[in-house]
Amino acid sequence: MNSLDTKASLGLAFLIVVMALVLFVPAWTLRYWQAWVYLALFATSVGAITVYLTRNDRALLGRRTRAGPLAEKENTQKAIQSFAQFAFLAVFLIPALDHRFMWSDVPIYAEILGDILVALGLYTVFRVFKENTFTSAIIEVDTQQRLISSGPYALVRHPMYSGAFIMLIGTPLALGSWWGLLALIPITAAIIWRLLDEERFVTKYLAGYAGYCTKVRWRLIPGVF
């Protein structure tokens, strides 16, 4: 295993550990089967995507391992990423507290629906990765980058964020929490803030993007936004 593979594997392992801590410590119990199912589903799905990139698109794997506020080149994106990290943790923290204090009574069919949405969201992200090798984790335009308007990009301008949004909607349900849906407010704000600033940047540096925006009207959700 080379350094890139090691970095990707350790990054995923670190993320899973952080998610587990944010779920089980506030819940103050390991008897939280919804969290175990969620972590298994997330780790398996993201792990499979990582293996695919390792074997088929190592350039994209390298782009995805450069992530977080410190990796961003634009000051605005540094601020957005910092806010988004805390908003992301809230998506897990509130359901964990909900489980501990038993605020919600979510039927099992809703929890299963949540897991389905999580899987669907991650599959959408995978489709984006297959379509666009320049899907960096930070806002940048590579010197060899070309405009992608096929596949999921023919439906919305930011399909990776659409996939993430689907996953995030499913997360509180999968974790058995109605109150956790409130955490969608700040994380949705972070996604919209990021994609609007990204469009400003990409329009300036990627040839043809302005014309693409006139062709594909919707940014995140067809018929809505």
The HSE-up count of residue 78 (CA atoms within 13 Å, CB side) is 6
Q: Could you read off the pLDDT of 37-71 as tens digits, one per residue? A: 999 999 999 999 999 999 999 999 999 998 888 88
The pTM score is 0.94
- How far apart CA 142 and CA 144 sit, in angstroms, is 5
For the chain, give every domain's residue range. Answer: 3-215
3-215 classified as CATH 1.20.59.10: no
- How far apart CA 187 and CA 48 sit, in angstroms, is 25
- How far apart CA 212 and CA 9 sit, in angstroms, is 35
Average pLDDT over residues 103-108: 97
